[in-house]
Amino acid sequence: MDFNDTPQEAEFRKKVRSFLEANAEKRSTLAAKPKGESGSSISSAGAPETVKGEDAAKLALQNAKEWQRKKADAGFAAILWPKEFGGYGGTPIEQVIYAQEEHDYFVHSGYFEIGIGMLGPTMMAWGKDEDKKRFLPKMITGEEIWCQLFSEPSAGSDLAGIRMKAEKDGDEWVLNGQKVWTSGAHFADYGMIVARSDPTALKHKGLTYFYVDMKTPGIEAKPIKQISGSANFNEVFFNDVRIPDSQRIGAEGDGWKVSLTTLMNERLAVGDPPGLDFDQIFEASKEIEVEDGLAVKNSEVRQKMADWYIQSRGLQYTKYRSMTALSKGQTPGPELSISKLVTASKMQDVSSYALDLMDMSGMVHQDQNPILKNLFQNGYFFSAAMRIAGGTDEVLRNIIAERVLGLPQDERSDKKLPFNELPSGKN
């Protein structure tokens, strides 16, 4: 592994830092401000999942669009995209570098990641030329926001198990069914969706991929109120939704292939911050009082923090391995599954332990919370979801077992039967 930037990477990092210093405010600066002045300086402030209240959500979305426009004007909104679509024409390692540097600044982020990181590349690979020209530039500038309509009540980690119906009617398709856990569906302009077009085909064969205007009659998005108070996820219902065949992406029955393009682009998120980590619990331990004084001086607390420090360094060097692969033009391997598995469980462990240390004050969730301004409360609420999103712990362990350890795959009868013959809970 090579932990150092190449001369080209160092120059790019310098360019990014110059842009951010001129257009955004550092988190450390915000941390020094009076309580309640600018919100959390350490958590992912400005992300959709941290916003509560309708008025606050509208303002956050407006601020996010303004920031996205600045990034687009500077060329940093879509670093991996070709220049012909308004992108930077950069490399995966440059995307990672930008993510690393932006994490040190307070910016409104998260509204455009699904579109630019996953759905835009899918359209570039499978979409029609006229669709690319129409939609891709507005993805970059933030004028139009996209959501990903994949998961269903009976199909999450097993995406090929979806039951959403897509029935051909002349030159149109009729969509019926339900999607769930759809981030941003209530404010998205467009979405990409995979549906079952042929129930008599094998599980992975009878799927077709489309894009939809979220204002199409028959589409209803219902935000799901989360325990944190925010409502970023949605149930989305499709009732006789008619769309033209021109909104199909890829060939009929190729939905699984197209979906894999979307999912594989998630791998490039290796530069994203890991969430709650050793640094946050260490800083909090200097403020939290336990029975024998400050938590940082307690031997049991220090032992726990030592364990998290070791995990954090292990994750750091695992990501360096991925970054080295990207720098050489290679595709990151299954080590990213290891990072996701450890990061999510560590986030849950750190936040839960911190709330226990805070005793009754750990139950308080308010803007003036003196202990890192609700960081651990928000982390605790969100950490369970993190162990499901982007691949459950069980799925990730299977990937590690098969692709890292070389263990044989489980026997799966569902790969050999037509979808409509597969046993279900109703049988």
Active site residue 266: yes
Amino acid at 109: S
Alpha helices in 83-128 (DSSP H): 92-102, 113-114, 120-126
Q: What are phi and psi of 16, to 5 degrees?
A: -65, -45
The amino acid at 304: K
| Closest C-alpha to 175, from 113, 255, 121 | 255
The token pair that represents 57 in the structure block? 């959500």
Amino acid occupying residue 128? K
Backbone angles phi, psi at 226, to 5 degrees: -95, 160
Nearest to 2 by CA among 315, 404, 328, 310: 328
Query: For residue 402, what are the CA distances in angstroms to 64, 171, 337, 398, 409?
Result: 40, 43, 12, 6, 6
- The DSSP letter of residue 26 is E
Kindly state the tokens that stand for 43: 């958590």
Return the structure tokens found at 283.
Answer: 């800083």
Q: What are phi and psi of 233, to 5 degrees?
A: -85, 160
Q: Return the structure tokens found at 17.
A: 């830092």
Are residues 397 and 405 in contact, defined by beta-carbon separation less than 8 angstroms? no
CA 12 – CA 16 distance, rounded (Å): 6
CB 374 within 8 A of CB 305: no
**Candidate list 25, 220, 266, 283, residue with the active-site label:** 266
91, containing H or E segment: none
Cα–Cα distance between 214 and 57 in angstroms, integer? 19
Structure tokens at 324: 């080295």
- What is the number of other CB atoms lying within 10 angstroms of the CB of residue 3? 9
Which residues have CB under 8 Å from 224's CB, separation 6+? 180, 181, 231, 233, 234, 235
First-to-last alpha carbon distance for the chain, in angstroms, is 52
Q: Which residues are catalytic?
A: 266
